[in-house]
Each structure stands twice: as C-alpha cells, then as structure tokens.
Amino acid sequence: MSAKRLMLFIICYAVTGCGEISKQKSPAPLTLPIKLFTHHDTSMSMLNMLYVSSPWQAGEYMALDFPEHSWGKNFSGVSTDTRDGNPHPSRWQFNADSTEAWYEVTARDGNLYRASASVDSMAVRLEMKFTNRTQQPISDIRILVCTRPNTMRAFADTSFAMTWVAVDGKPVQLGEGTTMIGEVPEDHVRHVMNIRGGPDNRDLGDLGWFTASWGKPFCRLAEEHAWPPVVATHARGDMTRWLGTIWNPSRAIFSNPRIPCIHSDPVPADCPPGESTVARGAVFFHNGTMAGLIERAGQWKDSLTE
C-alpha cells in the first residue's frame, strides 16, 4: 500500500472505524454537590444571609436573605439593623457536611423565630417557624425572603428580561408577558404579582410598596395572579438553566432588578399565644424549561400535604 493510500486509510478509520465517537451521546449536564455556608464575621445587616453553592459552576454561589425583613401586629420581627456596620458572628449553624443549616433568635418582644434549610438534590428546602411566647395574638405577619444570584452572575436580571412566573400553571415572562397596572414610579421599577386566592398587596398599607409611606411608591402590580407562586430567572442566553423560588403559603411575587433579586414572599398564618405558625419554601436549580420548573414546583407544593 502506498504512503498516500495508507494515510487515506488512517483518516477514514479515524472518522468511521473509530467513528463511534460521533455516535456517542452528549454527556449529561455536570452538576456539583450543593453546599450551604455563610461568612462568620459579617455586618449586622447580613446576619440572616445564607449562601448556597452553584451546582453548575465551582466557586459560584447565590445568597438567601432569610428573612430580609419581618414584622407583624404584636410581633417586633427579626429584621437586622442596616446602620450597624460592625462585624458580628453569623446566626447560622451547620451540620458536618454543610447540607443542613439553621438558627434560632429571640425577637425583642420575646417571640421565638427559627429558620432552617436543607439540601435536597437540585433544590434547597426552607422552613420558618414562629412561636408566640407572649399573651397577645400575632397577626398580619409580613415576611420578605430575598433570593439573589450573587456571584452566579449569569442569572442576574437587571431588566426583567430573564424573569418568568406562572399564571394558571403556564410560563409567562414578568413584565413583557403580564399586564402591569398603575403609574410608572419616578425611581427604578419593581414588579409585584398577587397570588391567586391571596391578599391584594395594594391593601397592605404597612407594606409601603404602593403608598408614600416609604417616601414614594416604587412598585407596579401585574393584573394577572401568580399560580403556583414560583418565580425564576434563566441564565443569560440559556433558557435551559433556571434559578427559582417558591413559598407556601405565599403572599406575593416580587422582583427588583436593581439588586437584582426575586421573591416569593411567605405569609405565615396568625399565631395565638403559646402556639406556633410555619411557612415552607424552596430554592430550585433547574435544568430544562420553565414549564418543567412549574411542574416541579407544583409537585413540591403537593408534597407538603402528603
């Protein structure tokens, strides 16, 4: 065999004979173990902040302000003082492999608040519990739980272009696919959605989103109602990877591109003296479509009643 023919044979064999390479299936998306952590010397405003490592990219993580704010009637809340910039030890404690985290704190009025998180495959299950240690009933509980992409910058949506919600179980882009009502705020806009069967957030005067109680209104409300109460952002240029969150029961969907962040804010039931009230949530890392994430969120919600 001539050298030329030998070379052609080698090339042909590499492409076809060993060409089984071309028949091999693409590998499944690489996922890394999810871990929970915090920074132990932090400012007062970051005491409730929990960090969750990315399952897609080593070294990247999202942040969960859990809670960002909280208050209620006969409940002083466990919000932190943003004016205190001195270092403080984090409230969070962890199990040995950093897949579970929790903390307890006594509010100024003596009521007990407990937050917990546990890794569950490509999700983190969340729970908050209030125990009423006073003689007064706690009602009208307001909670804000802020889900931030943080160093997972591909999920940082600064214009609502990557943020999606569920309306009657179908995926809808927040803003572009919803009917926003009310005047456009002078400052940068935050979008809000009421939850099907839940309160109208415009009627919650102490919330301040649609009144001048915080200086001036800064939110616009979608005419549609969210259901299930899940909100998510996809990676920039990639609608097959999603970072989402849901709470049950939930009061509102909220998105602030300035931070940026997404919320499905919980609404725990009123709590008589000596009793406790609970809300449960989840953070989802999702490979697939938004429709698939909505289905997954619905299954998670259904599992709470099993």
Cβ atoms 283, 123 nearer than 8 A: yes
pLDDT in tens, 2-24: 555 544 444 444 444 444 333 34
Residue 234 lies in a domain: yes
pLDDT in tens, 69-114: 999 999 988 876 666 667 778 899 999 999 999 999 999 899 999 9
Give the residue, 230 or 217, on which the prediction is more confident.
230
The pLDDT, as a whole number, for residue 296 is 98
Q: How confident is the model at residue 164 (pLDDT cuts 50, 70, 90)?
A: very high
Residue 38 lies in a domain: yes
Cβ atoms 45, 84 nearer than 8 A: yes
Task: Find the domain containing 37 and state its range.
Answer: 28-303
User: What's 243's domain CATH number?
Assistant: 2.70.98
Residue 66 lies in a domain: yes
Residue 16 lies in a domain: no
Residue 11 lies in a domain: no
E strand or H helix at 22 = helix 20-23
Residue 22 lies in a domain: no
pLDDT winner (highest mean) among 20-24, 104-108, 214-218, 235-239: 235-239
Give the residue, 151 or 206, on which the prediction is more confident.
151
Tally of structural domains, the chain: 1
The pLDDT, as a whole number, for residue 209 is 82
Residue 6 lies in a domain: no
E strand map for the chain: 36-37, 41-42, 49-53, 61-73, 88-89, 93-94, 100-106, 112-119, 123-131, 139-148, 163-167, 170-173, 180-181, 190-195, 219-226, 230-235, 238-248, 250-256, 261-266, 276-287
pLDDT at 28 over 90: no
Residue 196 lies in a domain: yes
- β-partners of residue 231 are 165, 245
